Structure 1
Amino acid sequence: MVTDVLRILCDQKECAVECLYNSTVAEALLQPIHNLMRGNAAAPDCSETALIHIADILARIASVEEGLILLLYGENMNSSEEESPTGAHIIAKFSKKLLDEDISIFSGSEMLPVVKGAFISVCRQIYGTCEGLQVLLPYGLHDSIAKAWKKTSLLSERIPTPVEGSDSVSSVSQESPNIVAWEDNLLDDLLNFAATPKGLLLLQRTGAINECVMFMFNQYAKNLQDSGTY
């Protein structure tokens, strides 16, 4: 219910500027992330579903210029990152930990890729701008996403072809689409670095630019086919 209310406010720019784009709201949304990164005893009370909802609202905030500025610099633009890290820094650190599997609390959870994807979506809103990319540059998210993609790509190649009548058919059929979907999501995340000149250079350095171009072409061809104009 709270998430639905926040979504409605986000969709109304004047209301969002007046009610949401302030340090009180940002700190409340980021507190569970703080707890998880600090290993706080209260962290287990934050479920994967709650994190996905939090990421959804943060992505909506970051998609608007006023909200992006809040996440990048906070309300007090003169404060240093060391004394008071802003939302963008916290989100980037948490996303990197998720990608590098440096947070054990949700280890083995089937929803972990969804949580990862949700927070990378927030980062995409940030690193899709020149100013945001500059702030997130020290975290090397392009490298972490590329490593996660390469690992997932190897997993998808190792999934055996299901044999009809085998007990493993159902488990393989469920696992394969999930891994392939996660692989595509990561390629899409990498592709979004091309939104800025500096981001394109970072994408080229990952060595995955050819795969990203092929992914973009396949998506374009699929869209044409679905629309009946292919």
Structure 2
Amino acid sequence: MAFLPVGNGHPRAIPPTKGQLKFLLGAIDYFTKWIEACPRTKITTENVQRFTWRNIVCSILWAYHCTPQSTTQEMPYRITYGADAMIPVEVRETSHRCQAFNGEQNAQELAADLDLVDELREEAQIHEEACKLRASRRYNPCSFRVGNLVWRLLGEARKDTSDGKLAPTWGGPFRVVEDLENGAYRLEELSGKSIPRTWNATHLKFYFS
């Protein structure tokens, strides 16, 4: 959560408004993007503390550690301790898990989870590596060689308008005839007819027959 506005570490006054309000105290929740603001005649420590992240940092950290991450598909807490955690709201609102809690059974399940934690971590690592590979393929264009067959991305001008929205996005196949070594390639049709312009690797993808 961010505190606004500040200038050189100090609150910055705005032109006085009705009621002699000179300061605008605002906060942005980085998770929900919720913005809250309130006018003040003066900025006090009590005002600032109401908006600072220090009041909610524990809840934020707990929520982060108990939320499955997109890279590993697992909760950091579970990867560390081998078991799920009960979030604070489940304790305050007396959830089913809290009511049905059995200490002896829970101890047995914790022991079983510890035996499986290494397997859990390996699976999370596999998910993480797969996520990195997908990102790499998405942002790092493919490298093609002379002779490779490729699809070529069709712009709006090259699409067959008679097909409407069902018009294909990719056209081809084409053959790579020259690698210009700067991410650009020269292509030709399979009949040998040369394509007059060069094409960037981001607009090409492998053709598999």
Q: Normalising by structure 1, report the TM-score.
A: 0.19
If you compute each CA radius of gyration, which structure gives the higher value, 1 or 2?
A: 2
- Structure with bigger helix share is 1
Higher relative CO (CA 8 A, sep ≥ 6), structure 1 or 2? Answer: 1
- Structure with bigger strand share is 2
Q: Normalising by structure 2, report the TM-score.
A: 0.20
